[in-house]
Structure 1
Amino acid sequence: MMQRKLALLVGIGALTILLMLKWEHVITLMNGETTSVQPWQRAPTDTITPIPGSRHLMVSAFKDHRLGGAIRVISIICRQELQPLYCVLCANAKADTTAKADANAKTDGALSQCTYLQAKVDVHTDDFGFPFVTSDVLCLSPMSQQFTRVSITTNPYDIHNLTFLSIQNQEVKDSFRYNFTVCISNLFGEYNNALQFAQTMEVYKLTGVQRVVIYNTSCGPDVEKILKYYRKEGILEVVPWPIDKFLTPSTGWKYDLHHGDIHYYGQLTTLNECIYRYMYQSKYLLLNDIDEIIMPYKHANLEKLMGTLQQQHPNAGVFRIENHIFPKTQFDDSGRFRLPRWRSVPGVNILEHVYREPERKYVYNPTKLLIDPRSVEQTSVHSTLKQFGPVLTVPFDVCRIIHVRVPLQGQLSKDQLFVDKKLWEFEELLIPSIDRALNQSGLL
């Protein structure tokens, strides 16, 4: 009997010591203890990564110098399943480190010193009712170490099989490779509007756009040929966006009407990702859809437009541009741009649609954004959520969006619409450039 009591006491004591050690381990991890590991690096073509132990997803990581060097991980969080998340921050260590690594692990060959700390989760306020929401997972480390990689996890004890993201935007830059970059949030549903896409790309170039970024879930065979042409030309970056492999995307904007896990194939996530991806690559970003063109009306190009706006409003970094609908059901009567050689190319010929719907006095007219990315922390589709400095709504006679699509006021006759032939001003340069793009893409 005495022996059994003694054995029981020994067992309880051992368990207590084990629990104390485990609790001490938790404290040291949360206080930023470092260790050496050999992290798995995500392949460059991977753009969405599950966060272990959760339904959340991480997308990309950036150093935010405006927040004291915090690491911002663009993520998609299931707001119904919020839970503590932990950052694992790593910096390359010297080659003579004594840490042991698994020889069979898929790594980039660099041993790293890693730090663990609890993350701050900032869920964006615009979710349109969907359960999965664009979010920022912030790693606020007090250490001055130059971290190069980060992973997010629910379990700070097991870090040896995590997938790590490269931390981008390591340095602040005040000169940029591009002046104007267009961020197009999503291609999905086998989108194959090749003619309108090629025409729009050529208009972009004539207004001063030097870079276009497209997040591609799926597109049709003709648009695929156009994408290949513009990538080869150097103006286009196509970012793979396989959101449908992880969630059930909605094809509409409102949960009650369209259902699904996430708004419009993750449109809000890609817009925010593009802002940080090009924060130190482009002076300005245009955040609009693939069938929209932000068009200066009082200036020859975007550079002259922004020169005037920034001179008049030197502290503004966000410029809201009004959307104006050009119904694709109403055609120019002259047939001037109804070119026979374009008839075999699928899609809308935007040069034929010169009739613009009038504004409705008591109906909200949505805007899209032209921004200085260094002035924006978070964005929605039609407005920013967090920004530094004032926001300016640009008068529609100075700049507006040419949006060729199905009508919103379909009951109006042609006589009740406004004639707007702004695109025709580019005819001399535009038509040959469209022909060249379609020819070299193999569509003519």
Structure 2
Amino acid sequence: MNTRTGNTTCLWKKDFVLLILTGLVVMLIYSMTTERTTTVGSPVPKLQPKPVLCNAAISEESITPLKDTRHFLVSAFMDRRVKGFDIRIIGIFRRDSIQPLHCSFCCGSVFNQTTPATVLIHSDHFGFPYGATDVLCPLPKNCDASYITLLTKPSANASEHTFIPIRNKSEKLRFNFTVCISSLFGDYNNVLQFAQTLEMYKVVIYNTSCGPELNRLLESYSQEGFLEVVPWPIGKFLKPSTGWRFSEHGGDLHYFGQIVTLNECMYRSMERSRYVLLNDIDEIIMPYKHDNLVSLMNTLEPQHPNVGEFLIENHFFPKKHFEPSKRFHLPQWEKVPGVNILEHIYREDPDRSAYHPHKMILKPKLIEQTSVHEVLRKFGERYKVPLDVCRIIHVRVALRGYLKLEELNEDKRLWDFQEKLVPNVDKALKRAGLFPAEEQKKL
């Protein structure tokens, strides 16, 4: 999938930045269309020394407890799309403990100016005690704020609180696509499929835990120059659920904070990326009538200029069925943990009598809040992309396991990219030292 942004042409290998957060995983793919960017890799950051212009503690952690509440701040962004408001804070709030809050700013050398806060709990919380939350804040007059926090009383001593940076103040459009893929947890170690997905479109991840081999692969991608490491230690503060329904799975927060990280990813990308893709680690949004996503969106956007939410239907490729010729059953991949997506070419037709999930391509500036399979609040319209134009290739356990092989559809679309995909995956696995010694020498 070669793509183009402006005058720059790049292959998959040079197109993305991978953001790993040490918590839930959302893989954020920085475009199939951009130059490789500099790695920003670091351990979990600590509170920074007091800055010259703000006499308060500044947190650069990805989860910051909010003093005198049961809530947590994640990040803050400039966002003037809702009339009367300038700043949007993404947070995790205890839903039964919402109280009046006040936005407190560091405005250059002027400290502790406050305005009333408006709290918006996301409607998709699935019954969990904590939910993704937006807090909207108007800026005080003549305030060029760089940091913000929330107070329970406007008269509170803000110097005793921890502030977080306000992002998106000076971002410029640099990417065509950012891909947010959730989620990675439970010592996930599907190394081969991960590498193949990465080489199809390289990513930002919010990572709770992964297996040792996958960790080596991630470190390798980081060293190569497009991996930015940011922490997501959700288990340090809450008991995250491994499922999506509170009544079945318990815990404090839906799926390791999946909705929080998807929204954080979208806002983080809003000013620098034309589109944001929301899909999982084992899913690939695949154009069927275009060579790449750039060509696809160059066709769709003029036809649907007011659409901010493009729905892509998910199609399952059962991993129990293998392509019979074994053309891509490559010896160098046999001992690498994980699924080889090139070996699975049989596609289920969805059961149209039941709910069938979609994933999304979003224009982030037209989206206010998103969930996993649909947008919750938006400024634009919705469009369901036809199946013959684009669909998701999802290699996984069969959804309709009773279907016989002859009832499935042969689909070799992934093979159209094997010429570059196979050698790029080989190079990535070799670089990470994930091949047996004899294979390392051959490649």
Q: 1:432 to 1:203 in 2, by over 3 A?
A: same
Confirm or deny that 1:54 pairs with 2:45: no
Q: 1:322 to 1:427 in 2, by over 3 A?
A: same
The normalised TM-score by structure 2 is 0.83
- Answer 1 or 2: higher relative contact order, Cα 8 Å, separation at least 6: 2
Partners of 1:327 and 1:303 in 2: CA distance? 28
Higher helix share: 1
> CA offset at residue 376 of structure 1?
0.7
Task: Give the number of the structure whose alpha-carbon radius of gyration is greater.
Answer: 1
Contact 1:214 1:237 in 2 (8 A): no
Q: 1:92 aligns with which of 104, 108, 114?
A: 108
Partners of 1:238 and 1:405 in 2: CA distance? 28
> CA offset at residue 117 of structure 1?
2.6
Contact 1:327 1:355 in 2 (8 A): yes
Contact 1:65 1:172 in 2 (8 A): no
> CA offset at residue 118 of structure 1?
2.7
Contact 2:182 2:280 in 1 (8 A): yes
Confirm or deny that 1:351 pairs with 2:342: yes
SS state at 1:65 partner: coil
> CA offset at residue 271 of structure 1?
0.3
Contact 1:186 1:270 in 2 (8 A): no
Contact 2:171 2:272 in 1 (8 A): no
Contact 1:284 1:370 in 2 (8 A): yes
> CA offset at residue 244 of structure 1?
0.8
Partners of 2:273 and 2:411 in 1: CA distance? 30
* Structure 1 residue aligned with 2:221: 230
Confirm or deny that 1:165 pairs with 2:181: no
Structure 1 unaligned regions, length at least 5? 1-35, 94-111, 205-210
Contact 2:114 2:140 in 1 (8 A): no
Q: 2:311 aligns with which of 309, 320, 327?
A: 320
**One-letter amino acid matched to 1:182:** V
* Structure 2 residue aligned with 1:185: 182
Confirm or deny that 1:371 pairs with 2:362: yes
SS state at 1:67 partner: coil
Partners of 1:240 and 1:332 in 2: CA distance? 39
> CA offset at residue 171 of structure 1?
4.2
Q: Where does 1:3-402 land on structure 2 (aligned, <5 Å)?
A: 38-43=55-60, 46-67=61-82, 70-93=86-109, 112-156=110-154, 157-171=156-170, 173=172, 176-204=173-201, 212-402=203-393
Partners of 1:234 and 1:300 in 2: CA distance? 26
Which deviations, in whole Å up to 9, do the C-alpha atoms of 1:13-48 show, x marking residues without a partner?
A: xxxxxxxxxxxxxxxxxxxxxxx96011113xx100
The normalised TM-score by structure 1 is 0.83
Partners of 2:208 and 2:153 in 1: CA distance? 31
> CA offset at residue 67 of structure 1?
2.7
Partners of 2:230 and 2:356 in 1: CA distance? 30
Count of paired positions: 381
**One-letter amino acid matched to 1:414:** L
Identity fraction in percent: 54
